[in-house]
Each structure stands twice: as C-alpha cells, then as structure tokens.
Amino acid sequence: MNNLVGELAINRDGLSLQNEQLRNALKELLNRFAQFRDTVGHLRELSDQMLVEPERHNSQRTTVSAAQTDTPAAVRFPSRSFNSAFSDMSVMSALAEFDPLEMDSYGALHTQIQEILEDIAQLEETVDDVTLFAGQSNQILDQQRNMLTQLRDELIWARMFPLGEVINRFPRMIRDLSITYHKPVALKLSGAGVLVDKAILEKLFDPLLHLLRNAFDHGIEPANVRRQRGKPEQGQIEIRAYHKGNQTIIQVRDDGQGLDLNRIRSRAIALGWLTPEQAATVNPAQLYELIFEPGFSTARRVTELSGRGVGLDVVRSQLRSIKGTVNVVSAPGRGTIFTLQLPLTLTIAKLVICLVDSTAVALPADSIEEILTPQSGQVQQSGTQRYLNWREQIIPTYRLADLLSYSCPLSENPPSKVLSTISLPKDWALPMLVLRQDQQIFALEVDRLVTEQELVIKPFGLAIAPPSYAYGCTILGDGSLVPVIDGAALLALSMSQLEEVSVTPMVTAYESMPAIQSQTTSAKKPPAIKTAQAPTVLIIDDSATLRRTAALSLERAGFRVLQARDGREALDQLRHTIVQVIVCDIEMPNMNGFEFLSQRRKDEKLAAIPTVMLTSRGNEKHRWLATRLGASAYFTKPYLEQEFITTLKNIADPSNKALPAIAQ
C-alpha cells in the first residue's frame, strides 16, 4: 500500500505538470487569439476605408463625366431600350442623391471579413469553454492532491508503532545491571508513545542498547564517587523522544561524569590518529567525533559492557542505514547527551533539486542548514581550497561537480522542462548549500537551484550497485529520474579517495581536508572523465515548419538544437548561449541572412562559429555573396538530409581537416 501511494504521488505530479503545461499553452493560445483578433480588426478598418473613399471619388468622376459627355443613352446602354435606360438613369439619379456616408457599399472583401469576425466570436466562446474546463481540472487536481496527502499521512501513521515497544524493554535491563555491578542507576522514559516508522523502529534497538550500556559503564560514576561530588548515589539515565518537524528526535542523556577529553586525546595519540601538537590544539567538538570512529575505546579492561572493540561506530553506521544521524554534547561532571535524528518516513521526503552542469541531483532538505548566494568577499581562497564565511565561521567549500565522478560518459542533453530555472544575473555567484553532518559543517556549490518539493524516494533495484552516498532516486512529473544523494557521505568518500598519509579521520573531516586536497589533488585525484557533449546547432529561419523539421532530424542525429526566427533574434541568443554550428536562411524579416553574416563578422567570438546557409536561392550570385561573407557551406532547399547532417558533423568536429569550403 505504501508503494502504491508513492506511485499515486508520482502520477499526481505528472498530472499536475501536464495541467500546468496545458494552462500555459492555453494562455499562449489566448495571446495569439487576441493578436489575430486585432489583426482582423485592422483589416476591417482598411476594408471600410477602401470601400468608402473610392465610392466618393468614383461618384465625383461619374458626375463630371456625365456633365461633359453628349453621348446618347442608347449608346451607353446598347442592349437596352430607351425606356429601360431612362428608368435606370432615374434609379442612378436617385442613388446619387445619397451621400456616401449615408449609404455604405459592401463588397466581397467586406463580406469575407464579416464571416471571419463571426468565426472569431464562435472560436472565442470555444476558447472560453476550454479555459473553464482547464480551471475545473486544476480544482479537481488540487482536491486530489489534498486527498492523496491525507491518505499518505494516514498510511504513514498506520505504519507507525510507539517507541515504547523498544524502550520499554530497557528498564529491566538497567535494574539487572545495577544489581550485577552494584551501581544504582534509574532509567526514565519520556515520549514512549511517540510513533516511529516500523522499518526504522526495527533498527533502533541495537543503537539504543549500545548507548545505554555505554552510559551505564562510562557515564555514571560509582556511588562513592557520586557522594564525594555531591550527587545522589543513584544515577539517572533518561531516554526522551519527540517529533520536530518531519523528524523524530531521541535523546539519551545521563547525569554522570561526562566525556573525559584527556583520555580521548591520549587514546588518539596512542592510535596514531593525532600528533601531540594536534591534540593540544584540537577543540572538544572534534574530539567528540573520535569516539564514533571504528576501533576507538577508552576502556582500560575488557568487560561484558566495554573494551571489546565494538564502539560507537556501530551506532552511527546503523543510524546511517536508516538515514539518521547522531551527535553528542558533554559537560564535564554533569553528564552527556546523545541526540539521534531520524526521518519520519523513509519513502517520502522533502528534497532540494539542483543542477550540476545539465544533470539534476536531489539532496534531502533536512540535511541543509541554509541555501545562499555568497556576497562579494564572503568566499576566500587559500591555495586550492575555498572557504565560506558563514555565521562567523570559516567553513570549507567544494563544488558538487568536482565531487561527483562517473564511470561512463554522460551525454549533454537539454534539461527537462520541469527542471527549467530562472536565469540569474551574471554578476551573481553560484548558489551554495550549507550542510551539517554531525559536528561537521561545509558548503557545496551547485550550478542552478530548481525547486524544493516533497517527493517519493525509490530504492535502486538489484540490477545496479549504487554508490554509498546515494539514497535512491526520485521521479519527477515528466518521468525524469533524479538521484538522491547524501552530501556528507559524498564528501567523505571523495576525501577518503584522496587520503594518502596517516591522519585522523576527525582531522580529515575538519582541519586537514583542505590540506589533503591541496597536497594530493594533482597527484592522486582520478582523471576527470569527459562527458560526451552533444554539439549545439542554432537554426535561423522565419519558417516555423522548416525549423521544426530540421530540428527533429538533427536531434535524431545527436545534436542539441536551438531556434531563432530571424538574424536579430539569433544575435540575442548568441550573447547568452554557446553553439558549435549555425544554420541560417537568407530571406527573413528584421535581419536577413546576409545582414546576419555581416554582423557576425564584427564579433570575434561569433566570427569563429561556422555558419551553414540553407536557403531556396540557388543562383551563383547568392552563393558567391554568402561565401564572401564567411559562410562555411551552402545548401539549397530541398536538400539531402544525410548529406546535410554529415556536413554539420564535420563542421562541428574540429579534428576533421578535410572539410570543403563550400558544400554543394
């Protein structure tokens, strides 16, 4: 049922996207319809002027000619009798008494325009009906969205189980440990009724058990020590759970002695993770991270509770398997608090979608502290590493495109319409995502931000082995697949690939990551895999039919196609777009092909782009002028599609030296 609700959510997004596209198309239709109606209105005015003014002039000329001629009526009406001609002359005389403003004359053009106006009125009623239906469809989709959201929430809560099913087992265990080790400890439970997803609840028992045993053994002091410190003889451990937004928070706190920073430093030096100099300058938050590293333990002897080589790294790894996090805060002599943050559900989450080049990736919104566009001077460079001044902290900054590596080439396809973004000013810096993973804070730079949306996360199938930093993928409304990644896991994986020297994992995460990168990037970073970029072609033609036909054939051949209606529009596009080849017509409004070639020669960057002429003019005069203005090839309509595509591929490939100057 949960999977079906996820599929319904995906279909709902698809319907919403299609409805939005329909409304946009309808809006464009209304705009064009209004333009057409205005055009017909102008035609009607011109028709009225053509019908009224010529009659006035013709009537004047008729009167003058009738007064000056002595030609008999019988001659002027040779096929009629004198009486008939006289009768017609009487009618014409009567009509002549009317002023042209008092009697309109209607011709075939005026009648045709009236018929068009009547058709426009009927079309307008039909368009209004379509607009009404589209609005009703949008209302139904909104109702469906609300009902589906309610159904999803109900299903999520139906999958929930009270946390008490796990933590209610612990009080008896603590009592048994207190009796066995003669250490009086009481366990307090708060929030046992908090509901947790069944899939998450099943994996919570072992981490909570380990934290409780750790608090009992390392945190709570013996009774005599507690008396000397003025504490009650009975130690207190509390498990507190509550919901915060779309997360479940579980805290395990004790009122013991807290974490021994000196012992952690000594153990880190003994393991070779820190030098004495580093240990003296490292801050407490970084030392706290060491207790989650594999093999770390401060126990002096092996017991049933500790010293067996199984540390808090098990807790962190198990929580990460359910997309959770754990961090610790400690106060010497007052106790320690372990905070577990868990997602409300593993299937539907709020995601931030961004673009890296032309590839879309998504990150969970819960892992992002802030989204910002750096101001001038907020980003600083030190060697090869950049830093961001964020909330009075200096945090390392990385480009997401540099961290992602692929084992196969990527084709540079144009992004989906649903991934379209608003163009930012050129003087703006690229957006950054500030992420926090436990005690680690860093920033990821992306190329574009698309949207923040509640989407379904689908796990990868068994056909592929996903990287460790990938949660799964989500499906957008148009069917596009977008991978969902863990930014912190991706950064940790990239840093582990660069790490050559023996340094502490904690220092790698905080202080030495930039240093390691600057020392080993040039030597150890795997060579970047170049993506198979599709050449971009700009088609300039005033005929929409030809542009579409050529675009379809070129896209099938692997090109990325842009379109422009005339040379002026093409120049505007070329200021913001990089293309490899230009296909241009000659006869166009506003700026024809020859004028475009002349303007292109004035700009060095544009002059370097090869231009292929595609026109219906096939005489030598047009061909010669196009060649003199810098055209690389010349094709006449109709053309051979295969020859045309082959020529474009040869022009787009700079390694091909055998290209003729002009293609016939």
Question: What is the tens place of the pLDDT at every residue in 542-594?
Answer: 888 888 888 888 888 888 889 998 999 999 888 888 899 999 999 888 889 99
Give CATH for domain 348-524. 2.40.50.180
Give the residue-averaged pLDDT of 622-635.
90
Question: What is the tens place of the pLDDT at every residue in 252-261?
Answer: 999 999 988 8
Sheet holding 581-584, edge to edge: 560-564, 536-540, 581-584, 611-615, 633-636
Which string of b and e fits 370-387 if b means at least 16 CB within 10 Å? eeeebeeeebeeeeebbb
Listed residue (355, 434, 362, 335) closest to 401, CA to CA: 355
Say whether the peptide bond before residue 638 is cis (omega within 30 degrees of 0).
yes
Other C-beta atoms within 10 Å of 302: how many? Answer: 11
Question: What is the tens place of the pLDDT at every residue in 96-120?
Answer: 554 554 444 556 666 777 778 778 7
Tell me, what's the pLDDT at 650? Answer: 87
Question: What is the tens place of the pLDDT at every residue in 315-356?
Answer: 888 888 888 888 899 988 899 999 998 887 767 778 898 888
- Contact status, residue 451 vs residue 353, Cβ threshold 8 Å: yes
Give the residue-averaged pLDDT of 527-544.
71
The pTM of this model reads 0.53
- Contact status, residue 502 vs residue 269, Cβ threshold 8 Å: no
At residue 562, φ and ψ (nearest 5 deg) are -115, 155
Tell me, what's the pLDDT at 452? Answer: 85
Give the residue-averaged pLDDT of 397-405.
87
Beta strands in 53-134 (DSSP E): none
Give the distance between the most distant pair of CA atoms in the chain: 145
CA distance linking residue 620 with residue 642, whole number of Å: 24
172 has pLDDT over 90? yes
Tell me, what's the pLDDT at 528? Answer: 42
Tell me, what's the pLDDT at 61? Answer: 44
CA distance linking residue 210 with residue 218, whole number of Å: 12
The three-point CA angle 197-198-199 to 5° equals: 90
286 has pLDDT over 90? no
- Architecture of the domain spanning 536-652: 3-Layer(aba) Sandwich (3.40)
Query: What mean pLDDT, rounded, does the chain reach?
Result: 78
* Most confident region among 27-31, 48-52, 56-60, 650-654 by mean pLDDT: 27-31
Position of tokens 């990168």? 517
Between 325 and 184, whose confidence is greater? Answer: 184
Which residues fall within 8 angstroms of residue 641, CB to CB, at 6 or more apart?
553
Tell me, what's the pLDDT at 481? Answer: 84
CA distance linking residue 70 with residue 49, whole number of Å: 33
What does 190-244 look like in DSSP terms, one character per residue?
E-TT-EEEHHHHTTTHHHHHHHHHHIIIIISPPHHHHHHTT--SSEEEEEEEEEE
Give the residue-averaged pLDDT of 209-238.
91
Type and span of the H or E element at 438: none
- Contact status, residue 405 vs residue 526, Cβ threshold 8 Å: yes
CA distance linking residue 2 with residue 19, whole number of Å: 25
- Contact status, residue 67 vs residue 144, Cβ threshold 8 Å: no
Which string of b and e fits 242-256 if b means at least 16 CB within 10 Å? eeeeeebbbbbbbbb
- Architecture of the domain spanning 161-343: 2-Layer Sandwich (3.30)
Pairing of strands 470-475, 448-458: antiparallel
Identify any residues that bridge with 440 across adjacent strands, giving them in sequence order. 437
CA distance linking residue 515 with residue 503, whole number of Å: 11
Type and span of the H or E element at 299: none
60 has pLDDT over 50? no
Type and span of the H or E element at 172: helix 170-181
Question: What is the tens place of the pLDDT at every residue in 375-387?
Answer: 888 888 888 889 9
- Contact status, residue 418 vs residue 427, Cβ threshold 8 Å: no
- Contact status, residue 140 vs residue 21, Cβ threshold 8 Å: no
Give the rounded distance of the alpha carbon of 604 from its chain centre.
34
**pLDDT confidence tier of residue 308, bands split at 50, 70 and 90:** very low
Between 20 and 554, whose confidence is greater? Answer: 554
- Contact status, residue 438 vs residue 449, Cβ threshold 8 Å: no
Identify any residues that bridge with 470 across adjacent strands, giving them in sequence order. 485
Percent helix, strand and coil across the chain, each rounded to 5? 45, 20, 35
Tell me, what's the pLDDT at 110? Answer: 65
CA distance linking residue 94 with residue 101, whole number of Å: 15
CA atoms within 13 A on the CB side of 454: 12
470 has pLDDT over 70? yes
- Contact status, residue 40 vs residue 46, Cβ threshold 8 Å: no
Tell me, what's the pLDDT at 74? Answer: 42
CA distance linking residue 402 with residue 42, whole number of Å: 58
Other C-beta atoms within 10 Å of 64: how many? Answer: 10
Token digits of residue 638: 């109709």
Give the residue-averaged pLDDT of 480-495.
81
* Most confident region among 152-166, 338-352, 483-497, 602-616 by mean pLDDT: 602-616
Between 483 and 153, whose confidence is greater? Answer: 483
Pairing of strands 247-254, 335-343: antiparallel
CA distance linking residue 515 with residue 654, whole number of Å: 39
439 has pLDDT over 90? no
Q: Which amino acid is at 49?
A: Q
CA distance linking residue 447 with residue 321, whole number of Å: 29
Give the residue-averaged pLDDT of 460-480.
77
Tell me, what's the pLDDT at 417? Answer: 65
Question: Measured in Å, how far apart are the chain's first and last C-alpha atoms?
Answer: 63
Sheet holding 235-244, edge to edge: 185-190, 235-244, 247-254, 335-343, 325-331
175 has pLDDT over 90? yes
Tell me, what's the pLDDT at 523? Answer: 35
- Contact status, residue 237 vs residue 252, Cβ threshold 8 Å: yes
Position of tokens 């019908």? 51
Tell me, what's the pLDDT at 241? Answer: 93
